Amino acid sequence: MLTTTDTVTLTGPLDPAALRRAAGPLTVTVDAAARARLDRGRRLFCTLRDGHDGDGERQIYGATTGFGALVGYAGRADEADQCDNTLAHLGAGQGPDLPRDIVRAALLVRARSLAQGLSGVSTDVVERLADMFATTFTPAVPRYGSVGASGDLIPLAYATQALRGRGHAYVDGRRMPAADALTATGLRPLALDGRDALALVNGTSVTTAALALAHATVRTALRTLTELTCLLADLLGCDPGFLDAGLLTAYGHPGAADTGARMRALLAGTAPSGTRPLQEPYSIRCSPQLLGAAEDALRYVDTVVAADLAGVSDNPLFLPESGPDGAGEARAVHGGNFFGQPAAFAADLLASVTAQLGNLAERQLDLLVDPARNGGLPPMLAIEPGIQHGMQGVQLATTAFVAEIRRNATPAAMQSLPTNLHNQDVVPFGTQGALRAHDMAELLHLLCGSLALGLRQAVHVGARRPTAPRCGDILDTLIAAIDPVDPDRPLDEDVRTAARLLATRATP
């Protein structure tokens, strides 16, 4: 079994960094406080399930009943059968497997939610989930099937079935039958009752994980684009007056003011060439307003991700005695804490931010390769235009990336469709929004790498070296890792290298 020194404890809220680390082997601990909560919650569930109300046997959704629109019918009497009753009908997903980092992050989110002790699951379920993270075991989960309303039922059902040894899973990146994957990693198949099974699927953990990972990538891209915009302005010899502190304070938006301050620090020491026009194109002159608006929007997404990672997503919840003297009645509460509307709204906003940041990167690269606007550098930054083609292929690819981002930027949260005999008569579609945001964020990452490669090439074909020391450091990082395009060569790996380098610099 593979292990790692990274440790996550399931007592407090998660952070996005923990979700990123979950892509590889990770030590996840169920500490004494979590065990105490789990044991208390399990006892409460059993007491409430086995008790009676004034009209006869107490009904608890999913433990004594059918599911969804069939809640009015009795479930199966045997606990193991009720587990199968929960999971079998949800095996209806389609499409390619989800990225493995999303699946593992989703299961970490699920484990943390369950560990709060309000779901009535057995301690063994959470401990066995924690054991999985010390290995490379990853359930194979199809992409399509969740509406993000009763939790991510279908994708989490596939994940749960894999942990039971059914379906398929990955080990060290290799897809195989889940039973073989469990054997290869030394894990035992999960044994579940109906409550355990329902709790594993009845939360928006896939949505939360995809949103958190996408958000982290876009945040990094925002910091990268802030750096690259300053490097572009310095290489071209722009006057930094568009970053004037008084100007941006008058604008009235905190993100713009904060972004302007970061850009002034990056450009400290720059010497304008005196050959640029009075007013730069918007892709330079309006960059603090655009990047600042992105910062303000991402701060809102910060709050949604933090709340989702700290909250409990499930139905029903089993709440212990409450009140100032602890005298309130313990109860099973049926409600809608599996409804992913906050994440759906946040994912749509993140998609909009990603699209505009992608537009900015593509437009800045277009400016850089155009001799009419780049201060007289050769077209496409080619050493011998026509004999060589410099950045021409990369620019074509960036156009395709932006088109793909725009095509996927249609809001998902407004697409509600009734389903499940109108039991789910409104749904948020946050899963689609979050997965789409994750795809778009990866393309934005490549757009950053494409622009960075163009800036590195610009100096090779005649642009001045940066006059601001911090911009010079950025350029030197690129020069040390990437050769100039001379002669032409495939640049796909160079784009990825540049993107990775700058993402590492920009990650706190």
CB 195 within 8 A of CB 184: no
Average pLDDT over residues 358-363: 98
Average pLDDT over residues 409-430: 79
Residues 156 and 224 in one domain: no
As a whole number of angstroms, the distance between CA 340 and CA 363 comes to 35
Please count the structural domains in the chain.
2
Residues 88 and 151 in one domain: yes
Q: Which residue has the higher pLDDT, 70 or 348?
A: 348
Q: Which one of 159, 181, 203 terminates a domain?
A: 203
Q: Which helix (H) or strand (E) holds 57?
A: strand 56-57
Contacts of 449 (CB under 8 A, 6+ apart): 494, 495, 496, 497, 498, 499, 500, 502
Within 3-31, residue ranges assigned H as helices are: 16-21
CATH number at residue 154: 1.10.275.10
pTM of the model: 0.94
Residues 222 and 272 in one domain: yes
Q: Which one of 171, 203, 235 terminates a domain?
A: 203
**What is the predicted pLDDT for the residue at 28?**
96
**What is the predicted pLDDT for the residue at 348?**
96
As a whole number of angstroms, the distance between CA 261 and CA 245 comes to 7
Q: Which residue has the higher pLDDT, 426 or 502?
A: 502
Residues 311 and 348 in one domain: yes
Residues 49 and 187 in one domain: yes
Give a yes or no: residue 103 inside a domain. Answer: yes
CB 477 within 8 A of CB 501: yes
Residues 197 and 142 in one domain: yes
CATH number at residue 372: 1.20.200.10
- The DSSP bridge pattern shows strands 56-57 and 52-53 to be antiparallel
pLDDT in tens, 27-70: 999 999 999 999 999 999 998 888 765 555 678 887 888 777 78
Residues 85 and 227 in one domain: no
Q: How many CA atoms lie within 13 A of 470 on its CB side?
A: 15
Give a yes or no: residue 332 inside a domain. Answer: no
Q: How confident is the model at residue 21 (pLDDT cuts 50, 70, 90)?
A: very high
Residues 392 and 349 in one domain: yes
Q: Which one of 144, 178, 203 terminates a domain?
A: 203
**What is the predicted pLDDT for the residue at 390?**
97
SS3 of residue 424 by DSSP: strand
Give a yes or no: residue 331 inside a domain. Answer: no
49, amino acid identity: R
* Per-residue DSSP letter, 133: T
Give a yes or no: residue 54 inside a domain. Answer: yes
Mean pLDDT over each residue of the chain, to the nearest integer: 92
Give a yes or no: residue 2 inside a domain. Answer: no
Contacts of 46 (CB under 8 A, 6+ apart): 120
- The DSSP bridge pattern shows strands 27-29 and 7-9 to be parallel
As a whole number of angstroms, the distance between CA 456 and CA 476 comes to 9
Give a yes or no: residue 320 inside a domain. Answer: no
**What is the predicted pLDDT for the residue at 422?**
66
Q: How confident is the model at residue 151 (pLDDT cuts 50, 70, 90)?
A: confident
Residues 155 and 241 in one domain: no
State which residues form the domain around 353: 211-315+337-506
CA distances from 486 to 449, 454, 458 (A): 18, 13, 12
Give a yes or no: residue 261 inside a domain. Answer: yes
Residues 250 and 112 in one domain: no
Dump the DSSP string for 282-334: HHHHTHHHHHHHHHHHHHHHHHHHHHHHHS---SSEEE---STTS-SPPEEE-
Average pLDDT over residues 443-472: 98
Q: How confident is the model at residue 4 (pLDDT cuts 50, 70, 90)?
A: very low
- HEC string of 425-471 equals CCCCCHHHHHHHHHHHHHHHHHHHHHHHHHHHHHHHCCCCCCCCHHH
Residues 446 and 464 in one domain: yes
Give a yes or no: residue 24 inside a domain. Answer: yes
Catalytic residues: 61
Residues 415 and 281 in one domain: yes
